[in-house]
Structure 1
Amino acid sequence: MRAYEIGPQDGLDSLRLVERDTPTPCPGEVAVKVHAVCLNHRDLLTLKGQYGALKSEDRIPVSDGVGSVTALGDNVSGVEIGQRVIAPNFVTWLDGKFTPAIFGQDLGISRDGWLAETIIMPADAIIAVPDGVSDDAAASIAAAGSTIWNCICAFGGLEKGDLVLTLGTGGVSILTLQIAKALGAQVAITSSSNDKLERCKAMGADFCVNYRENEDWPTALMAETGGRGADIIVETAGLNSIEQSIAACAPNGRIALIGALSGQLDKVPQLAGLIGKNVTMKGITAGNREMLGELVDLISRTGLEPLIDRKFTFDDAPAAFTYLESGDHMGKVMITL
């Protein structure tokens, strides 16, 4: 079979296409023929050697994908050949609270990921994809979607009518917009592009702020919301923007810190606003299988279709990584097989 490896992790050119024997499942595992995968920011960091310690050069990357079961290992039940499936990127985190042990089985990081023609999965990690859920939707939700569900539901305690703020228009932020709207929330979103903000409005965003035109964008957002502020913030930029997120927060708001797209911390943030507004801030690593299953149910019920910005063929996978790095995308970047 064909597969991609992360190589020496010295840049995007590190990605290499190789031929491997098609893997066979051991007891408790299934083999999955891959249909499509979606990229996340951490896939870029991994190729650059910036996502923790360097990995084995033969690691297969990418944590999000969908495929169909082609073979069953011994002692596997409740799974059918041909069944479409996805899995959380932390394949041993089935339910319950976070534990650092989950990092030992992280797709595309500490365990081979989806960017191959066939992959092996633990049978108890997979989730069957309902007939009404497209491959596009299924391939784009495992890592980002379960994380969002943890942020706004498990941690955020979302209630209908709450205001959710998400930063930027990348894959996580656009999916946050779509999921939050499907759950009955209001949504505010930021971008440096008015064209992208207009598209967000068309997708249901209630409040849109251009942070390039409004350097003090929290004040602009407060003006738009009548001084209300956000009940839940999905903070993708990192601690460099945390002061602004606190300023945009409503009293008793919840900030889910999930990323660091703004880069390394360049100053010590002032966090007094957490106390003044009684704000709760929590780091969110990802979501578990149970959370991902709840999201699949929501998509099945509502017909939600995550926004796919562009699709690349398997042969053009390096171009997909380059496009993601450019930041020109809005929504998810997909590779199809």
Structure 2
Amino acid sequence: MSTPTTTKAWTVEGKGSFDCLKFDKERVLPKLSDNDVLVKFHAASLNYRDIIIALGYYPFPTTPSVIPGSDGAGEVVAVGSKVTRFERGSKVVTLFNQAHYGGPLNPKVLGTGLGGIIDGTLRQYGVFNENGLVDMPKNLSYLEAGTLSCSALTAWNALYGLKAVLPGDWVLTQGTGGVSISGLQFAKAAGARVIATTSTAAKAEILKKLGADHVINYKETPNWGEEAKRLTGGAGVEHVIEVGGATTVTESLKAVAIGGLVTIIGWIGGEGETGPSFPQILSSMAVVRGIVVGSREQFEAMIRVTEASNIKPVLDQHVFKLEDLKEAYKYLSDQKHFGKVAIKIE
């Protein structure tokens, strides 16, 4: 088989609607340098970040005509002359920030995000530096592994990046998106207890099957932060995985324990008109921390636990083809999903 020189790929041309997504059937691939590998993608998945990049709400810089997508799993089909981490046939998963190998973030590392600054995964083939990839978990399919790069690693960072979750800890998750479900799975694997919030009885039942100890319907119980604290006997939760943003963080501060950790991840609830007051933040006596995904070192630790505990990512029942990407964006934007929205690439 000859090495391909072009690839089918989506690009983001402008912003403001999903019509800015354009499909190119013959985008030219760059040549391999000594430390590069060529990956044939078999699967990718979407994140809320992909939606807001297309709509123009993303708060970080992006490159014009960038190929979107940060999450992808595939097979190495060609390697540069000095590559040592992988060989032809290796199964790999992409690292979100291509230069975040370990330690804290810095501006240079933040400028290496796939699907924002650097061309991402929503394509057939891609050239990557070998250091921007990790070995795919042996217990997962391509579709499952193609969901890990952003949301799963973000959840792992939330639970282990600053203060490790411990057996018996209480963890609060919000909703049924990729970060929250991964957080639930990793917390249970650590022996923690989980309180999950959701909006429907049907989703509540699925969350319980995944291991949630308590589920609060936030539409029926708008003061769910106080309810979560009550469920802990009044002590509060050690970890909050905060994905809602300004519309939910006030309740999160009500739920957290003294000395607990609220990890700010996103704002899927919208920007909101108001957030918590300064006295509310102070009186929580908690640590509030914002994160952007995680490092390769954390990714590899997460993969070891994923294999050892046979943790399976939860995929939405609707799997989209690469050619149907606009429909997948709308599906995620309309919040019709449960778990990760996966993209099959052929």
TM-score by length of 1: 0.96
Q: 1:186 to 1:268 in 2, by over 3 A?
A: closer
Shift of 1:162: 0.7
State the AA in 1 paired with 2:175.
G
Deviations 1:201-223 (A, max 9, x none): 01100111001011111222233
Distance of 2:76 and 2:39 partners within structure 1:
4
Distance of 2:63 and 2:133 partners within structure 1:
25
Partner of 2:213: 206
Shift of 1:232: 0.3
State the AA in 2 paired with 1:73.
G
Task: Name the count of aligned residue pairs.
Answer: 337
* Residue 301 of structure 2 is aligned to residue 303 of structure 1: no
Partner of 1:243: 250
Distance of 1:69 and 1:208 partners within structure 2:
42
What runs of 5+ residues in structure 1 fail to find an aligned partner?
Answer: none
Instruction: Pick from 4, 15, 22 the counterpart of residue 16 of structure 1.
Output: 22
Instruction: Pick from 7, 21, 36 the counterpart of residue 13 of structure 2.
Output: 7
Partner of 2:172: 165
Structure 1 outlier segments of 4+, above 6 Å: none
Distance of 2:272 and 2:324 partners within structure 1:
34
1:133 alignment partner, SS class: coil
Partner of 1:318: 326
CA contact (8 A) 1:23 1:118 kept: no
Distance of 1:330 and 1:271 partners within structure 2:
34
1:155 alignment partner, SS class: coil
State the AA in 2 paired with 1:146.
L
Partner of 1:331: 339
CA contact (8 A) 1:67 1:85 kept: yes
CA contact (8 A) 1:174 1:330 kept: no
Shift of 1:97: 1.3
Shift of 1:190: 0.6
Partner of 1:215: 222
CA contact (8 A) 2:45 2:342 kept: yes
Deviations 1:211-265 (A, max 9, x none): 1011111222233333232110011011332221110112211110111112124
State the AA in 1 paired with 2:99.
T
CA contact (8 A) 1:274 1:280 kept: no
Distance of 1:94 and 1:217 partners within structure 2:
37
Q: How does 1:43-54 map to 2 (within 5 A)?
A: 43-52=50-59
Shift of 1:268: 4.6
Deviations 1:85-120 (A, max 9, x none): 012210101011111211221100000000010011
What runs of 5+ residues in structure 2 fail to find an aligned partner?
Answer: 1-6
RMSD: 1.5
Instruction: Pick from 123, 141, 153 the counterpart of residue 146 of structure 1.
Output: 153
1:308 alignment partner, SS class: coil
Shift of 1:305: 0.5
Distance of 2:330 and 2:137 partners within structure 1:
32
Q: 1:134 to 1:195 in 2, by over 3 A?
A: same
Instruction: Pick from 165, 183, 196 the counterpart of residue 189 of structure 1.
Output: 196
Partner of 2:260: 253
State the AA in 2 paired with 1:181.
K
State the AA in 2 paired with 1:15.
L
State the AA in 2 paired with 1:233.
V
Distance of 1:78 and 1:266 partners within structure 2:
48
State the AA in 2 paired with 1:88.
L
Distance of 1:278 and 1:163 partners within structure 2:
17
CA contact (8 A) 2:92 2:135 kept: yes
Partner of 1:135: 142
